[in-house]
Structure 1
């Protein structure tokens, strides 16, 4: 029997049936997530390229103990990591403002164009400083493009599917990293500079078409629908309805009517709150005032935790680290690592709506910390067995990370932000992610490089030490937001309900309204 939902109502019990009805929305959500794929590919590029002998020779210094005879100094690698994260910070801050001025659609195209310039500079570079400049500029573009996706999804997805689609943020990043690992394995057989230059050239795949040299995101620009939420906020009701028909198809007009009504209600509420709050100063400042301060802290702690628990190290330097600790076929092993991560992240799409956000974050971070501690202990021993236990620890860590903190960290930030402050909160989230990523990415080369601390697997102790306070913070500060509407969360935060009591309090409230 065909499923015909009442689109005006909320039906979390039918979320998977509703998902099958949302094919058009799913396609546009995947298109919008290209910014995440771009970022994922770029995120690990410098660290992966450092494992290529030709790259070491081009940008490194003589170091006889290395198999290539050269070593890229730790300060060069830290500089590249710092430039990437610095550019990301600039991009997400600028992106948060551009989303309000230019709209979601135009911001995505602009980020793509900036990225193309940065990639071109990297390709033309022959020394580390010019390569650094290219990393900085491309990261600004990635930051702008990355900002658009969670905002577009958070504004337009139905409540039943919000967690599922917000998981695409991290899923798209992992997909980009997986593509990088596969291409690196293939290009590792190429002799000379084109072994690593292939990785740089292929970044143009995200921003250009090989035959027409038209930016892909701009190539889809004429048909990519602007956010109906943004259009309704600007008073363009007819354009918003056209966008909704483009997103969902025009066959089911009851769906279009219900979505227009739902989004318009959110816009009206948001504008009322914004008008009331306009006397309190700029939106960025309001994110740190009153109950919004708590919401902002909840939004930024998970993305900061992603970085502090070791994501920039594992995801950005995995291939290079494997080569340093003595794994022979390190490119192949890294491909296996990213296959595992991709499959784990895909599984998280379902777990986030079944297990919930809080259990995945709290329990997941505890397990990650224990794995890192084990990895550090193994690093205190020598021998082949210790080597492979360390590799297994990396694989298990990656599985747990992608199932829990990696997938949920981005989702919860978009959920807890109040509607008027969502774009500004996402800018703060992006800044926090970029700063924490810069910190860990800057330090990582000094921790593992042979010309610096040369910790090997003992680096696990460092990230396990950071994981302990994260576990405590998550336990007390992370709420369960599964199934909660924006009205529910406004009620909970305005009444200063404890984060661990969100679900029980809202159930009591709903039961009160249902009782005669």
Structure 2
């Protein structure tokens, strides 16, 4: 890859030709083919060396995901915080609890926000670009935190969660879109998978903070964690003016000189980005000829429907397999039989394991690809969920500490497997299978659909898990295990292997209706 600059003549692609100029477009097509060959030959280490700035800016845009995951995890942990229970809850069996109905209402903020926020994000992302949309969203986040910080009643807190959730939902569309558009093939899977790590970091920080502040007996037990959320907007707003815009967005706006400038800012000086620009123009031209479209309805046209289905499916499976149970991890551990301190410590450990899992996924991505990691991981998660369910059937369960600890440890193993497979690989898939013209809208639709299922889980889990309702405890493993079996069957027949493919190649493969299991070895001519 170090010889990339030697592979292009000095004339390069200085003036981008019109799509109507056949001769010049043939030149662009040749440059595109040469760029594709170079991308295929690039190793992960070479990618790190040539694109360190792209790595940094992609990670920077993913900071929004930390905010998006911190808030719901914080809220779920507060349900087990004594000061929060006392100030916002009701008396039950000599103690205080937050009722299932209020847990459901408060938990609606994030999934409802993902539905509305993700779909709304598709418009400004295309009109104004990734950078401006991200900046306005961060400013909005800063404002809604005031509502949470000063809330002293559940209705006021509910308003803050609902309004804030609208903005937080936008980050789930912004981050994978930007990450997939600023790095080469060699880094694309790792940077999109990094989004899952940001989810874990947000959850880990929330549980870590609550593990300490939960010992306080006044409002600072929950006000301090809310205030901590202002840290991320401050960091982002300081760095955002220096961030480069997505070159793919600039190409679609026919701002070719700006796109090349952006590419130069994202790569090292040894990279000749005229070739990279050529492949972007060629891909954009191909999608124009395929009538890919740019509207939400175009995602459901025959040429795009399969891609939209895959994006929705891999994202929805996160909810179906049980990830929203993690938001109630502290409460789950309490109801399983651990004391308050042990429950908070286990929750922190649970998320630390998730962090390790995503790092393992980075190593596996270069060896196994996407499809194998996703399917094997989901299969193992299904087995663990059923094991949790069967453990809870043990006679006199609450008096058997060994069974209680075994159930909690299995929950940690499940989370490790999720963050190796279904968690991070989902964001890689939704970024790679979507057409470049429809990427923001396809990701938005997938995010919104997943959020619909999340609402179902947000409504159902409190009633399944709360002691004044279903009190299922570990029997929830049967529920999520059963849903995982159905999901696994769909995955086997519908998820293709996208590793090592340029967006142009993926366009051609989907247009030619290549069978799912033929994707891996298919030769694009």
**TM-score, structure 1 normalization:** 0.91
Inter-partner Cα distance in structure 1 for 2:286 and 2:238:
35
| 2:109–2:164 CA contact under 8 A, matched in 1 | no
Corresponding residue for residue 318 of structure 2: 306
Shift in Å, 1:3: 4.9
1:458 equivalenced with 2:471 (yes/no):
no
Alpha-carbon displacement from aligned partner over 1:297-346 (angstroms, at most 9, x marks no partner):
111111100011100112x1111211222212211111111111101111
In the aligned structure 1, how far is the partner of 2:284 from the partner of 2:302?
A: 22
Change (3 A) 1:255 1:43: farther
Q: Helix, strand or coil for the counterpart of 1:222?
A: helix
- Correspondence 1:154 to 2:173: no
Q: CA distance change for structure 1 residues 439 and 327 in 2, over 3 Å: closer, same or farther?
A: same
Aligned ranges 1:71-470 → 2 under 5 Å: 71-208=97-234, 216-249=235-268, 251-252=269-270, 254-273=271-290, 276-277=291-292, 283-314=295-326, 316-328=327-339, 329-381=342-394, 382=397, 383-470=400-487
Is 1:499 the counterpart of 2:516? The answer is yes
RMSD: 1.8
Contact 1:119 1:135 in 2 (8 A): no
Task: Give the Cα separation in 2 of the matches to 1:277 and 1:300.
Answer: 18
Report the CA distance between 1:89 and its aligned residue: 1.1
Report the Cα offset of residue 271 of structure 1: 4.1
Partner deviation per Cα, 1:237-274 (whole Å, 9 max, x = no partner): 3322332232225x32x43333333333333334444x
Counterpart of 1:220 in 2: which secondary structure? helix
Is the Cα–Cα contact under 8 Å of residues 54 and 182 in structure 2 kept in the other structure? Answer: no
| Helix, strand or coil at the partner of 1:380 | coil
Residue of structure 1 in register with 2:27 after alignment: none
Give me the whole-angstrom Cα distance separating, in 2, the residues matched to 1:246 and 1:419. Answer: 21
Residue matched to 2:28: none
Match of 1:57 among 51, 61, 86: 86
Aligned-partner SS, 2:520: helix
Tell me the equivalent position of 2:60.
31
Q: Do the aligned partners of residues 277 and 398 (structure 1) sit closer, same or farther apart at CA in structure 2, a change above 3 Å counting?
A: closer
The answer to whether 1:14 aligns with 2:55 is no
Contact 1:108–1:217 (8 Å) recurs in 2? no
CA distance in 2, matches of 1:184, 1:112: 23
Mean alpha-carbon deviation: is it higher for 185-194 or for 364-373?
A: 185-194
Provide Cα deviations, 1:68-121, integer angstroms capped at 9, x if missing partner.
x10100010011112221012111001111101121001111111222222211
In 2, Cα distance between the equivalents of 1:488 and 1:127? 54
TM-score by length of 2: 0.89
User: In terms of mean alpha carbon deviation, does 43-52 or 256-265 score higher?
Assistant: 256-265
Distance 2:324 2:505 in 1: 35
Q: Unaligned 5+ residue runs, structure 1?
A: 209-215
CA contact (8 A) 1:40 1:177 kept: yes
Contact 1:113 1:141 in 2 (8 A): no
Q: CA deviation at 1:495?
A: 2.2
Unaligned runs of 5+ in 2: 8-34
In 2: Cα distance, 1:349 partner to 1:475 partner: 22
The answer for the alignment partner of 1:211 in structure 2 is none
Tell me how far apart the structure 2 counterparts of residues 484 and 235 of structure 1 sit (CA, whole Å): 24
Kept in 1, the 8 Å contact 2:82–2:217? The answer is no
Q: 1:19 to 1:403 in 2, by over 3 A?
A: same
Task: Give CA-to-partner distance per residue, 1:108-142, whole Å, 9 cap, x none.
Answer: 11111222222211112111121111111111111
Question: What is the CA-CA distance between 1:493 and the residue it aligns to?
Answer: 1.8
Task: Give, in whole Å, the separation in 2 of the partners of 1:146 and 1:368.
Answer: 24
The Cα offsets for residues 49-77 of structure 1, whole Å up to 9 and x where unpaired, read as 11100111111111125xxx101000100
C-alpha deviation, 1:189, in angstroms: 2.8
Query: How far apart are the structure 2 equivalents of 1:240 and 1:488?
Result: 21
Asked whether the 8 Å contact 1:115–1:137 carries over to 2, the reply is: no
Relative to structure 2, which stretch is displaced further, 147-156 or 44-53? 147-156
Assess if the C-alpha contact under 8 Å between 2:59 and 2:191 holds in 1.
no
CA distance in 2: counterparts of 1:188 and 1:56, whole angstroms = 11
- C-alpha distance in 2 between matches for 1:43 and 1:353: 32
Measure, in 2, the Cα distance between the counterparts of 1:5 and 1:141. 41
Alpha-carbon distance in 2 for matches of 1:368, 1:10 = 34
For residue 217 of structure 1, report the CA deviation from its aligned partner: 2.3
Take 1:28 and 1:466, find their aligned partners in 2: how far apart are those partners? 37
Shift of 1:4: 4.4
Q: Measure how far apart 1:12 and its partner are.
A: 4.6
SS at 2:393 equivalent: coil
What is the DSSP-based 3-state SS (H/G/I as helix, E as strand, rest coil) of the residue aligned with 2:329?
A: helix
